Structure formats: C-alpha cells, structure tokens
Amino acid sequence: RSCDVHPSHSRLIWSPLTAIPGACCVAMGCFFSAEDQVVPLDEPEESDDPMAKLQAKIARLRAELKGDMSKLKESAQKWRYMSTTVGKLAHLNDQFENDLNDEANAHAALTYHIADQDAIDIYEACKGFGTNEEKLGRVILGRMKETIQLTDEIYQKRHKRTLEDQVRGENKTLLGMLGADSLSHYGRFLSYRTMPQCKRDALLFRRCVSGFGCSDKILVELLSTRTNDELRAAAEQYAKSFDGEDMVERIMKETGGFGKKWYGKWIDTLVEFDRDESGEMPDDIEDKAKQLYDAGAAKWMGCDEQVFIDILCKASEETCAAIAEAYENLEETKRSLAEDVEKKMGGDLEFAVLARVRNRMDFLAIRLHKACKGWGTDEECICRVLGCIDNLEVRALHALYDEMFSEEEPPLNDFKALVNKELSGSLAEAVIHCLECPPPKGHWHPKTTYEPSATADADQFRADLEEKFDEEKAMLLGGTDLHGPLKLCNVDEHFLCEGYDFDLCCVHEMHQDPDMSHVFECEPEDVPAAEKLIMALEGQISQVRQDTEKNNMAAEGAKAMYYDRAHSMRCKDNHLLQLCSDNTEMLEFCAQRDAETVHEAVDGWGTNEDKLIRVLCSLTKRQLRRVDEIYAEKYGKTLREVTDGELGGLFEGSFKYFMKCAITPPAELDAELLRESMKGLGTNDTLLCEIVCTRSNKELQDAKALFAEAEGKSVEEWVEGDTSGFYTTFLLRCLRADRHEGYSDADLADQQADKLHAAGLCGGDVEEAVFLKVLPQASEEQVRLIRQAYEAKYGKTMVEAIKDMGGDMEKALLARVHDKVTYYATVLNGAFAGWGTDEKATSRVLGRSTKGYIKRISERYEELFGGSLRQAINGETSGDFKKALLTYIFAEAPGEADSEPPGEDEAEEAPPQEEEEAEEAQEEEPAEAVEIGDAMVPKGVVAGFIGALRSEYVNDEGAMVGKFFDDCQVDGEFVEALTPYEDKAREADDKAAFIDGLAAGWGV
C-alpha cells in the first residue's frame, strides 16, 4: 500500500499504491505523487533485522491511516452537509406548513366574504317588483362554480330558497321549465349556471324526450360531451325528479323505431355509460383508421355502420383524435375522417358520429356557429352550450371559435361581434359579461386543481434534485460555513415564494482531524515499543474506518429524507404561492366592493348602521386595512374618521368605541389607550397594566414611538407622573421592552420560582429587586414554566399568591404572570360581572384581537367560567353594540353563524335536544298564517308588515318597510306577496284608513 525506502538501502521499492491514480506516497517523511514516474526495482534481499521489518510496517500503516483520515474527513463533510440540510428542510417545512394554514384560512374567509356579499346582492337585485338583471347577472356569471355553490348554501340558509329557485321566479317545479315560454332565454342562461350539474343535465335529458318526437341533436350533444360519472349522476337525478322513470329506458325508447336502426344502436351503446376514460392509447390506431376507411369511404355504395359503432362509440376523446389523425395519413384517403362521414352518412347518425370524431371543444364551437348562421338565431343552444361550461372553458371556446372560423364573413368570424349582432338585451349583455369579466381570484382555475398541480411540480423538482445530486459537491459544501439560507446540491432556485431565503443556523461544527500525534510522532526504540505502536496504528485505522462507514451510512440514509423533505417543501411552496396570489386578488376585489358599501352606508342623511356592521365587522384585520386604504383614496377619509363622524349620541360609549378598537391599527390604538389610561384625574391602572404588561417587545416599542410623537413626551415620563413606588419601578422596567422572547429554561424556572417565593410571594416584605430581575425579562414560555414550578413546590398557584398582595402591584403582576389568552378571558369575565357591563374593556379586548385569536380567547373563557362567550355577549350587551360584537366574532363560516348582523332579541343557542323538540312542536302545531296571493304568510310577519306600513306612511319615519324585511330576514316569497300592498298604501289618499282596512281584513 506504500512506496517505502528500505532502511538498509537507498533505493526505491515498487509498491501497489503507485497503481492508484492521485494516491500519495510516504517515504521517510518525503511525499511523492502517484502520477510521478516510479520505476520498479528489483526486490531487496530479505533483511534479518526484526526492527527493520517493524519499522517498514509502521511506515505502511501510517500511510494507510493518513489515507483513511482523508476519507473520514470527506465522509464527515458529506454527513455534515446532509444532516444540516435535512434539518433546514424540516424547519422550512414547518414554516411553510404554518404559512400555508394561515393563507388557507385567509382564502376560506375571503371566499366566504365574497359569497356572502353575493347572496346579499342577489337578494337586493330580486326583491320587490322587477329585477335588477344587470346586478344579478354580474354576480352569477362572474363567479366560479365553487363560489356559486357557497353562495347558494348561504342564500338557502338565509332566505329558505335556492339560487335556482330565485332565478326561476314563480316556476316552482322542474316541469315548469318544460314550457317554451316559462322562462326568458336570459333566465334560462342564469338557471343553467346556478343549478347543480346532475339536476341540470337530468332536466335537459327530460326536455329532449318530452313532447312530440325527440330532440336528437341536444341528446347527442349531452351524451357526447359528458363523462361517464356525470351521465350516471344525471340518470340517478332523473329518476328522483321524474317519479322514478328510468332515463336510459326512456332514451332508448325515443331513439329507436322505423328508419333509425343504426342511430338507435349508436345511442344504445352510448347510454351504457362505459366509454373508455383510462387515458391509455390503443396500439392499433392505424388499423382502426384503416377499418373505418374500408367500412366507409372505400365502399362504392353505403357504409358498414357497425364498424363505426364498434370503434368510435366507446373510444376516449384522445383515441378518437388519434384515429382521425391516422385516417388522414392513410395512403388511400383524400379527405379527413369527418369529411368522409359527412359524405357517406346522413341524418342523426351523421351528427352523432361527428360528435365523437371531433373533440369536445371543436364540437361545441361548431354548435355555436350553426346556432347563429342563417335565418334566425338558436338562443337556446347558445344558452345551453355556454351555461353548462365554466368561465375558463368559455374563454377557451371563444378563442377556439375565432380561430376555427377566421375565414368566415363578418360577424361570423368573431364570436363577440356575433353575439352583439345576433342577441339583444340582457342575454347579450350576460354573454359578453361572461366573455370579459375578471374573476375575483384573477384566474378561472378551480381550487381543486391546486394540490395536484403543486404535487406535479414537486415531483419534477424531486426528479431534478436526484439527477443533479453530486456526492463530491455535497462533500465540498460540507466543508464550508453552512450558516445561512438553504443550499440544495446543484440547485440554485429553491423557492417559488419570496421571503424564505433567510439565514438558518448549522449546529454541526466543521470536521477536525482527531489527534494522532501518539501514533505519528513517536519513534519506537525497541521491538516491544514498535509492536505496541503497530497495535495502536491498527486500532486507529479500524476506528477511523468504522467512523467513515458510519458517516457514509448516515449520509446515505439522510438522502431519502433530503429528497422527501425537499419534495414536501416544494409542494407546500407551490400551493402557498397559488393561495397567496388568490388572496391578493380577492383581498383587492373585496376591499373595492366593501369600500363602496361603506360609502353607501354613510352617504346622505343618516347612517345605515346595519350595513356598516355587516361590512366592517365581518372583515379580518388584513381586509380592514386594505378597505381603509381604498376608502381614503376614494373619499379622502379613513374608516376611523368615518365611524367617529357618523356614530355618536347613544353609541358613544359602546358601538363607536368598539369600531374604533376594531378599525385602528394595533400600535396606534395602543398609543391611544396608553394616553386614555393616564389622562385627566386619576389613572386607569387596569388599562395601563394591560398595555404595558401584556404586549410583545415590538408592540410596546411601536406604541411608545407613536405616543411620544403625538404627546411630545415619552410614556415613561407620563408613568412616572401618574404612579408611584414599586409599582412605578415595575412598569418602567417592563417598558424597556426587552423580554427574552423565544427563550425558556426549565431548570432556571425552578430556581426563579424559589426566589420569587422567598422575595415576598409567600407573604411578608417584598424584595423588589427579585421581582424586577425575573418577571420583566422572562418570556411568556418562561413565565409558564415558573408558574408550574411554583405550584408544584408550594401547593398554591402564583395567581393566588399574587392576589394576596393586593393594590396596583397585583394588577401589574397578574397581567405579567397570566398567559395572554387567560388574561383576556379574565378581563372579559370581569367586564360582564356585577351590575352593568364594562363595554370599553369588552371592546378593547375583542376589537383589538384578530378573529383567530378571539377563537382562542372564547375557548379559554368557556374553560374557565363555564358559559360560552356568545351567551355572555347575548346577555350583557344590546343594540348595535351587540350586533357588532356577534358579527365580528362569530360570522365567519357556514354552519357557525349567519353573517347578517344578529337582531337585538337573538336568543341563546338551545341544546340540540331542545332544538329538535321545538322543531317537532312546530311541525305538530303550525303557526297561523294568512293567505295573501299565492303565499301563506305567517301572522307574525303580517303584523310586522302592518306596523312597518304605519311607521313609514302614517308616521313618516323613513323606509321602515324595507328595514322590516331586511332586519327580520323575511322570506322572499312573503316579500313578493306583501310588496303590492305597500305600493297600494303609498298611492292611497287616506293611508291610515287603507292600512287599518288591511289589518282588519287579515285579522291582525
């Protein structure tokens, strides 16, 4: 293994090591490169000197050890890189997971907010006489299916009718749509958009087979453009909607008979609903194309229809396209497959075969073209084609149409121009809106595609990572300073989202060669010493090789985690990027609309507090900030200035104060609250301690800066002037804002608990220095550990011990020792205790907190005090203040609470059993109702309507009828029944007499 110099000869000896490229040779302290030319010499005579033999072996072992140590260093560096990188990937995965959850929650909140406002807009567009078709169409046609479904859910919950039912107006049953004049084309277009697909397709199939004959073209269109699952769902819904009738049997019955043999067989095959959807391409595409040619174009007369049925009916769209392409490449053919079908076939069979030969989008584009060409326009076809696909496909179909028919004469060569010429009124505006409207998310891709897309990107990223991974590069990186951002081997672009290339630490030190001086520097003087050295060298070589093997195995084992975690990180990164992009667009969309709604609420005479609550209190802090910016840009006022100016009088101490806390940025609010705690006579010590003792370092620093800027003096100067003694010293120490955030030590907490106990928590004189040293700097986690240690040692909680101290120090210490969630829950409980309610404390805690943080406070409140926060608010507050609180806290998602501002008399939630009993009682004893028009209106609603009529038309109290309908969420059917009588009351000469007559006639 080495090139040695024999101790008794001054000539080189041949060694196997010289055959290893790049190896290093050691000879009596001199080094030679293996690439240097070494001439093999004759072997020396065997020496009889035992010492000489041992020294030669020592030299060889030392050379081996040097080589092994070099390999150990390489393995250690590779392991250091792999271990550090895997650790960084784990940290980044956690960070991405947290951020992904935050953005997913924001995405859900924004989506719900859009759907909620859409439900309100649709209701407002439809209520009363006439319909605001522009507003209705803008909402229904400008949203994705997922948003329409959510809006429908909200609408049903609020108004007890579906969007489809609202759009269809008085057509209450599916059969009502079968009449030719039951709906305008515009109404039908919107109906297609609002109906669940299975229900819509079932209805379309029903229309195909009803009446005289069968609408074969529509039938073929449906069977050829739906998937197997969609067709099965339609068949199942058909049976439910039409008294159990079998859709397949009805279709087969309508498409058979004289003169329809092959068309009937074609349809019979399609309605088996087992078309190939595997995505696999057959191997015999060319053979199938040749069979079709032989069965059709090659025949002098007629064609073999069964071959077309066997090959095309159940083939996938991709297979049909491949067959059509192969058909054109046949030597025998001069035309395309579609052209030969048109030449050899006719009637319904020709149309059915062409629907399979052409791809789905081409087929639909041709349907639109034929609907507009020639005399008249087939509006139903246009409504059906565009109403049954989503906006993403509408845009694609628009582009495809313009490309396919670019050679046609105007306006047939431009679909948008064609729509403007062939359609008119609301339908034309609706179709154009469908083609042009920007979506709230900035794109039309459904959310269901995000995860598959992210996974596909991550799969490709992993494949690239595995391909580019270089063992030598990993080893070299392991020998560098790994403190800093993530470095993946031979990959420069790690992240799709910005802001994640931050520094991460490396916990593994650089490799240091072990101390081998005891085997390299000593020279044995006798045989025993030489043998001992040889044993030590062999032991070191064995150990180094074992360590090298361990490092290599660990590095190799880390590879799987390296690839897995990189894949997971990239998947989350991609998904996060999509959600962030959506949220940015939706935030802007919502903020623009919300700013307009706020302006509507405060514009003109008086303020619509309900609308203001509905908009502002349903928003997250992030949304509020953006609405504030937009409102200021448009109208020259901040939201705070608007609420300060519009809300006054009775609302000064409650609703207005809450809106201030909810709208004002946290640092600005804290600065204002600090001033409020110390202004005038006396000091609000509870408020002062809440701000100084519960805020984070950054929150305190930001508030202090704004306070000094506004007041011209520091917070510290105000505190010194308004407080005294140890209380002052403690507050000033907390105001330094230097808590050791993120640091905790259980052993230290144990010691600190002992010190605090001895310093006065056990009673007696207080040793201020200990309190000042421990609590102002301890992090929240460290305080939690101190609390645990104190209770374990002394059988009493720190909170109990502090309460024995009394005075202002008790308030300060409790604010510091409690975790924030517990502290805020306790403040709320104190605000609700005794006579009256501390509305400012309630507003401060809830208005300043984010909605997510309020959930934690609410859960903690229930844990500590038994009742729910909702129950407490219902019992302790009233009016607009109550509405604002309930909307802000609970109106966030379907099933949790309605997003409309709850009424003042909103009852506490009943237990499920009581709710069921109440529902059963209602079923057994229906409320009295009055027949008005076609509706049975409950007497309570009628009485409320009469009262609202008197308030508006006799007492001149403003638009009380509309307010009654909105506040009481009167069902749309009842509104439609009652509205004509409002019109009559408005026109009556003696309004009071007319209203009294109505009341008498209706028995209320």
State the average pLDDT over residues 515-519.
Answer: 88
User: Per-residue pLDDT for 158 more than 80?
Assistant: yes
Amino acid symbol at 506? C
Q: What percent of the chain has pLDDT over 90?
A: 57
User: Per-residue pLDDT for 859 more than 90?
Assistant: yes
State the average pLDDT over residues 622-642.
Answer: 90
Look at phi and psi of residue 760 and say left if phi exceeds 0, alpha if psi is from -120 to 50, else beta. left
Q: Which of 26-30, 415-419, 521-525, 858-862 is least confident?
A: 26-30
CB 73 within 8 A of CB 511: yes
Predicted confidence at residue 29, as pLDDT, reads: 37
Predicted confidence at residue 34, as pLDDT, reads: 38
Cβ-count burial of 728 within 10 angstroms (0-12 exposed, 13-18 middle, 19+ buried)? middle
Chain segment 866-890, per-residue pLDDT in tens: 889 999 998 888 888 888 899 888 8
Higher pLDDT, 507 or 365: 365
| Cβ-proximal residues to 265 (8 Å cutoff; 6+ apart), any chain | 305, 306, 309
Chain segment 222-278, per-residue pLDDT in tens: 999 999 999 999 999 999 999 999 999 999 999 976 667 899 999 999 999 999 999
Please state, in angstroms and rounded to a whole number, the distance separating the CA atoms of residues 767 and 772: 9
User: Per-residue pLDDT for 14 more than 90?
Assistant: no
User: Per-residue pLDDT for 836 more than 90?
Assistant: no
Distance of CA 240 to the CA centre of its chain: 35
Please state, in angstroms and rounded to a whole number, the distance separating the CA atoms of residues 754 and 766: 14
CB 511 within 8 A of CB 32: no
Which residues are bridge partners to 31 per DSSP? 26
Predicted confidence at residue 582, as pLDDT, reads: 95
CB 735 within 8 A of CB 716: yes
- The sign of the torsion formed by the CA atoms of 405, 411, 414, 419 equals negative
Predicted confidence at residue 25, as pLDDT, reads: 34
| Cβ-proximal residues to 312 (8 Å cutoff; 6+ apart), any chain | 292, 320, 323, 353, 356, 357
Range 245-254, long-range pairs (CB < 8 A, 24+ positions): 247/202, 247/205, 250/209, 251/205, 251/208, 251/209, 251/219, 253/209, 254/208, 254/209, 254/213, 254/214
Which residue has 């919107």 as its token pair? 190
The rounded mean pLDDT for the chain is 85
User: Per-residue pLDDT for 64 more than 60?
Assistant: yes
Range 446-450, long-range pairs (CB < 8 A, 24+ positions): 446/144, 446/145, 446/146, 446/390, 447/107, 447/146, 448/146, 450/575, 450/578, 450/579
Chain segment 82-101, per-residue pLDDT in tens: 999 998 998 899 889 988 98
State the average pLDDT over residues 981-995.
Answer: 80
Predicted confidence at residue 928, as pLDDT, reads: 61
Listed residue (868, 855, 876, 856) closest to 911, CA to CA = 868
Please state, in angstroms and rounded to a whole number, the distance separating the CA atoms of residues 981 and 104: 48
Which residue has 């083939």 as its token pair? 315
Which residues are bridge partners to 488 per DSSP? 491
Predicted confidence at residue 46, as pLDDT, reads: 55
CB 470 within 8 A of CB 480: no
* C-alpha dihedral (212, 216, 217, 223), degrees to nearest 10: 130
State the average pLDDT over residues 443-457.
Answer: 95
User: Per-residue pLDDT for 940 more than 80?
Assistant: no
Q: CB atoms < 10 A from the CB of 26, how many?
A: 20
Question: Are β-strands 929-932 and 30-33 bridged in parallel, bridged antiparallel, or unpaired?
Answer: unpaired
Helix (H/G/I), strand (E/B), else coil: 316? coil
Listed residue (507, 480, 513, 508) closest to 73, CA to CA = 513
CB 364 within 8 A of CB 354: no
State the average pLDDT over residues 753-764.
Answer: 88
User: Per-residue pLDDT for 614 more than 70?
Assistant: yes
Predicted confidence at residue 966, as pLDDT, reads: 67
3-state secondary structure 468-506: HCCHHHHHHHHCCCCCECCCECCECCCCCCCCCCCCECC
Q: CB atoms < 10 A from the CB of 782, how many?
A: 23
Name the range with the highest mean pLDDT among 129-133, 168-172, 549-553: 549-553
Q: Is the peptide bond before 411 cis (omega within 30 degrees of 0)?
A: yes
3-state secondary structure 34-102: CCCCCCCCCCCCCCCCHHHHHHHHHHHHHHHHHHHHHHHHHHHHHHHHHHHHHHHHHHHHHHHHHHHHH
Higher pLDDT, 451 or 763: 451
Listed residue (904, 722, 688, 906) closest to 816, CA to CA = 688
Listed residue (690, 759, 692) closest to 720, CA to CA = 692
* C-alpha dihedral (101, 106, 108, 111), degrees to nearest 10: -150
State the average pLDDT over residues 415-419.
Answer: 95
C-alpha pair distances (Å), 976 with each of 191, 998, 1004: 20, 16, 19
Listed residue (269, 267, 315) closest to 289, CA to CA = 315
Predicted confidence at residue 918, as pLDDT, reads: 36
Which residues are bridge partners to 30 per DSSP? 27
Backbone angles phi, psi at 680, to 5 degrees: 70, -160
Predicted confidence at residue 291, as pLDDT, reads: 96
Predicted confidence at residue 2, as pLDDT, reads: 39
C-alpha pair distances (Å), 18 with each of 33, 34, 180, 541, 680: 9, 5, 98, 21, 94
| Cβ-proximal residues to 551 (8 Å cutoff; 6+ apart), any chain | 72, 75, 76, 78, 79
Predicted confidence at residue 263, as pLDDT, reads: 93
Amino acid symbol at 741? E
Q: CB atoms < 10 A from the CB of 570, how many?
A: 24
Q: What DSSP character marks residue 651?
A: G
Chain segment 644-667, per-residue pLDDT in tens: 887 765 444 578 888 889 889 999
CB 376 within 8 A of CB 388: no
Chain segment 308-361, per-residue pLDDT in tens: 999 999 999 999 999 999 999 999 998 999 999 999 998 899 999 999 999 999
Q: What percent of the chain has pLDDT over 70?
A: 88
Which residues are bridge partners to 935 per DSSP? 932
Distance of CA 318 to the CA centre of its chain: 33
Predicted confidence at residue 410, as pLDDT, reads: 93
Question: Are β-strands 935-938 and 929-932 bridged in parallel, bridged antiparallel, or unpaired?
Answer: antiparallel
Q: Which of 249-258, 286-295, 729-738, 969-978 is least confident?
A: 969-978
Chain segment 814-834, per-residue pLDDT in tens: 999 999 999 999 999 999 987
Cβ-count burial of 806 within 10 angstroms (0-12 exposed, 13-18 middle, 19+ buried)? exposed
Distance of CA 595 to the CA centre of its chain: 24
Predicted confidence at residue 19, as pLDDT, reads: 35
Q: CB atoms < 10 A from the CB of 341, how many?
A: 27
CB 592 within 8 A of CB 117: no
Joined tokens for residue 275: 């078309």
CB 143 within 8 A of CB 122: no
CA angle 614, 951, 881 (to 5 degrees): 30
Predicted confidence at residue 182, as pLDDT, reads: 64
Render the burial of 68-86: b for 16+ CB within 10 Å, e for the rest.
Answer: bbebbbbbbbbbbbbbbbb
Which residue has 């309020």 as its token pair? 854
Report the first-to-last Cα separation within the chain, whole angstroms: 113
